[in-house]
Amino acid sequence: MKIQNVVAHLDQLAPPSLQESYDNSGLLVGDRNKECTGVIVCLDSTEDVIEEAIAAGCNLVVAHHPIVFSGLKRFTGSDYIERTVIKAIKHDIAIYAIHTNLDNVKHGVNGVWADALGLKNQKILSPKKGLLKKLVVFVPESDKDNVLQAMFEAGAGTIGNYAECSYSGEGNGTFKPLENANPYIGEIGKRKVEEESRVEVLLESFNASKVIAAMKKSHPYEEAAYDLLDLNNVHAEIGAGMIGDLSASVDAIEWMNRLKTIMKCGVVRYTPLHKSKIKKVAICGGSGSFLLNNAIAQGADIFVTGDFKYHQFFDAENKIIIADIGHYESEHLTIDYLVRILKEKFTTFAVLLTKVNTNPINYL
């Protein structure tokens, strides 16, 4: 098994194209063609984690936060970022980051957390636009099912909990094969009118080339006619934060105490309790204050995240309870999850959860 096999599996879990524009997820250090000798999973790939990887004989560190975020111009070891990268390169340790792309998929940072909290009716708090496309293909009726099947197998046609969604209508297509053509039907130099189906499927932009390749492979024509159209629809399964319901209304303080245990946090900082009972819960792992208005608009009783600043707490305005549990604490379930899915997939090398507590914040 090569490092690339692990990278490909993680890329499939959270496609890198779903990362935010400011992010730097993906393979940051190392040679993807090297044999993988073991993986260490962490939130932050610090120097201590690289040391741990060296000691454990693991040559791949999978981190949530990219150690190289805004670019490096020199490698003199003057700060922890440069020292980490230098140490990793010297010891042939690869570093892979799976950051906002894992925030943005439904079963990622927030889906894992929502499951741990037992939230029902889980929905993305801020679904993304611009990720859906429509593929329209014109195909002889006799080959319609084949082409549809190929596109479904390549990942097209999924809407929420429904797979194999498509629409088709019948019509007539025309074409005239030119001199060097090798037509499936029709004759060189003569216009052909053929009964064709217009088949439409939805697909995700990051999957477009795969679906088009599958469609072309299964299409009988030498030149398949198709339209790839941008859609403005939101993608309900991709975006930031998550909202869901507790199975019953519960006392807010009691629930926050339970939250403290589940999330292993030293402290919960929260705004005035404008209501004593809560049922609808919004969450965002990491720094989620940018989602406060989404949480209010969708009727959340409480919004749990990290990194709220003093003045931002005032924005609760008795419309919602803001509960800040800390950035690290809100994401620690993520790395347990990554260990679990990597262990399930790869059995020929060790997949370890770091023993280093990389949280730079302590509580007295």
Residue numbers at the binding site for Zn ion (CB under 5 A)? 286
| Dihedral pair phi/psi, residue 15, rounded to 5° | -55, 130
Of residues 91 and 264, the one with the C-beta less far from Zn ion: 264
* Residue 51 C-beta: closest distance to Zn ion, Å: 22
* Residue 44 C-beta: closest distance to Zn ion, Å: 9
* Residue 49 C-beta: closest distance to Zn ion, Å: 15
For 142, the 3-state DSSP assignment is helix
Of residues 241 and 286, the one with the C-beta less far from Zn ion: 286
Which residues does 218 contact at the CB level (< 8 Å), separation at least 6? 143, 146, 147, 149, 150, 151
Of residues 211 and 242, the one with the C-beta less far from Zn ion: 242
* Residue 292 C-beta: closest distance to Zn ion, Å: 17
* Residue 328 C-beta: closest distance to Zn ion, Å: 8
* Residue 321 C-beta: closest distance to Zn ion, Å: 22
Q: 301 to each of 23, 55, 106, 281, 320, how far by Cα in Å?
A: 30, 46, 21, 6, 5
Of residues 105 and 132, the one with the C-beta less far from Zn ion: 105
Fill in the amino acid letter for 95. Answer: I
* Residue 286 C-beta: closest distance to Zn ion, Å: 3
Of residues 286 and 326, the one with the C-beta less far from Zn ion: 286
Residue number of the CB closest to Zn ion reads 286
In sequence order, what E strands does the chain have? 26-29, 38-44, 60-65, 94-97, 120-129, 132-140, 167-175, 192-204, 225-230, 234-251, 269-270, 277-287, 302-306, 321-324, 350-353
* Residue 73 C-beta: closest distance to Zn ion, Å: 24
In contact, 338 and 26? CB cutoff 8 Å:
no
Of residues 218 and 358, the one with the C-beta less far from Zn ion: 358
Of residues 18 and 148, the one with the C-beta less far from Zn ion: 18
Please provide the distance, in angstroms rounded to a whole number, between the alpha carbons at the two ends of the chain.
Answer: 44
Listed in sequence order, the DSSP H helices in 172-291 are 208-218, 252-262
Of residues 63 and 339, the one with the C-beta less far from Zn ion: 63
Of residues 30 and 286, the one with the C-beta less far from Zn ion: 286
Of residues 97 and 156, the one with the C-beta less far from Zn ion: 97
Query: What burial class does residue 51 get, using C-beta atoms within 10 Å of its C-beta: 0-12 exposed, 13-18 middle, 19+ buried?
Result: middle
Q: How many residues does the chain have?
A: 364
For 52, the 3-state DSSP assignment is helix
Q: Is 155 left (phi over 0), alpha (psi -120 to 50) or beta?
A: left
* Residue 331 C-beta: closest distance to Zn ion, Å: 5
- Give the full edge-to-edge strand order of the sheet including 302-306: 120-129, 234-251, 277-287, 302-306, 321-324, 269-270
Fill in the amino acid letter for 320. Answer: I
* Residue 97 C-beta: closest distance to Zn ion, Å: 11
For 349, the 3-state DSSP assignment is coil
